[in-house]
Amino acid sequence: MITLDKISKNFGSRVLFEDVSVTFNTGKRYGLTGPNGSGKSTLLRIIMGVEEASTGSVTLPDRVGILKQDIESYRDYTVRDVVIMGSPKLWAALEEQDHLYTVEMTDEVGMRLGELQDVISEEDGYTADSDAEMLLEGMGIQEEWFDLKMHQIPTDRQFRVLLCQALFGHPEALLLDEPTNHLDLESIGWLESFLKNYNGTLIVVSHDRHFLNAITTDITDIDYDTIIAYPGNYDSMVAAKSSVREREEHDARSKEKKISQLREFVQRFSAGSRASQVQSRLREIDRLKPQDLKKSNIQRPYIRFIPTEKQPGKVVLQLEDLGKSYDDNSVFEHFTLDILRGEKIGVIGNNGRGKTTLLKLLAQALEPDAGKAGLGHEVQVAYFPQNHKEIVEKSGEHDCFEWLRERRQGLYDQDLRSALGKLLFGGDDAFKKVATLSGGETARLIIAGMMLQEHNVLILDEPNNHLDLEAVSALAWGLEEYKGTVIVASHDRDLISKVATKLIAFEEDGIHIFEGGLDTYLKNKAEQTA
């Protein structure tokens, strides 16, 4: 159980949450939600003890698993040891034991070794290696990597090791900040199954709607300068929150109407013989005066892509005998595919198998080593790269407004301000320096630029990274409604499920084309492995 008692946090005059008291119960799995900037990660850091609250206190159980992000701190430790560090008490005992084995054996050293062995036994230290290996295998970490140093394995796999560290040692509570960020669909599925069987207290921050819906029993939502608890998963919370807000707004309108009628009576009879009735109406007006509804901090951008009037040919992108390698590593070879006008294609598969390379080739941002990746007749592409720096790094001191103007010449200022406003760059935010933007703000700026470009094909590589749940939902709607062709790579199942009617699946035995949506694909895969 985790208890927050009268927690407040503010930065200067800005209040994130105030005088919040909430209990996270054992056996419950809580999603901590709220838009970017609402304070989710700040609250999680307060619970973890790495950031101080302005007021209040936090009570935690003895053993807490925390998902850390500082991979550099572990670069010279082996993968297996980093996982075992998830139990600090066990790791300290193991380290001291190893040290004592290197010194002269005395009675005092022998007694201390006996004490340490008791600690190791109590902390399940004699099964630590096998427990760590089970977690690593579930996260898709290859067995030959278990005894390598962290810096010797790919960066995305290092983050997976840190997730295993958080899960290690049977923690009584788990605090996970964006645990699916560096996971592929297979690993996300494994993590979901693990967490569903977890019987401690779980608090998770995630921008993956499908993941939250799959694992959470409750939602704690940061809004209206406080934290509001809702039973059920994320979709249940959205429905309940909308219902409560609509009811409050309806009640406020009803009170305003009644007050208007009472004021009309007061104006008509205030100078007459019905003074007592007038006073009664005035008291009723005071009683009915509605309090100002607190403003929600949830904002959903409006994302709509309008294709150019130029109609492309039937085949918009053509891959012929395509091959690409990096040094001695062949990403793919002899790959042939025609992408047709109007298709909505999801690109899925484990990290490192070539999804980004394929999208770069399709967007003409990379040259193939063999074969051809050609554009069809009258095709115009708008491209969202996974690495935002490919588009914004050369912006120098440009602000958002200036950067957008360069995306398409000849537009009026109001067109640029409109696009920025739809992506939540209102007022002075339109003149923020591009170099100072957060990951989420940069992603929204790139999408605003795509909305203004002339295009009939959209290619997007992990566009959901850094976007909050509301922005991902708006993006899914925009891509679903788009009348042109869409190719999108993502591990976000909600996004792919809503948009894609065809899949390019990077699997262990090669690239496969699947005619159908993600749900059908996953069902077929499950039946094949059953």
pLDDT digit string, tens, across residues 141-156: 889 999 999 999 887 7
Q: What is the pLDDT of residue 343?
A: 95
pLDDT digits (tens, 9 = 90+) for 493-522: 889 999 999 999 988 788 889 999 998 988
- The answer, yes or no, to whether residue 225 has pLDDT greater than 80, is no
Kind and range of the H or E element at 45? helix 40-48
Q: What share of the chain is helix, strand, coil (3-state, %, to 5)?
A: 45, 25, 30
Q: What is the pLDDT of residue 18?
A: 82
- Strands, sheet with 64-66, edge to edge from the N-terminal-most edge strand: 64-66, 173-177, 201-205, 29-33, 218-223, 226-231
- The answer, yes or no, to whether residue 324 has pLDDT greater than 90, is no
| Residue 183 CB contacts under 8 Å (≥ 6 apart), including other chains | 139, 160, 163, 191, 491
End-to-end CA distance of the chain: give it in Å, rounded: 37
- The answer, yes or no, to whether residue 456 has pLDDT greater than 90, is yes
Kind and range of the H or E element at 400? helix 400-407
pLDDT digits (tens, 9 = 90+) for 30-78: 999 887 667 788 888 888 888 888 888 999 988 888 888 788 889 899 9
Q: What is the pLDDT of residue 529?
A: 67
For residue 77, the 8-state DSSP code is: S
Under the banding of pLDDT at 50, 70 and 90, the label for residue 394 is low
Q: What is the pLDDT of residue 312?
A: 92
Q: What is the pLDDT of residue 170?
A: 87
Instruction: Give CA–CA dist 473/458, Å, rounded.
Output: 17
pLDDT digits (tens, 9 = 90+) for 241-271: 766 666 666 566 677 777 777 777 777 776 6
Structure tokens that stand for 502 in this block:
């065809």
Q: Which of 386-395, 411-420, 481-490 has the highest mean pLDDT?
A: 481-490
Structure tokens that stand for 262 in this block:
């009472």
Q: What is the pLDDT of residue 478?
A: 94
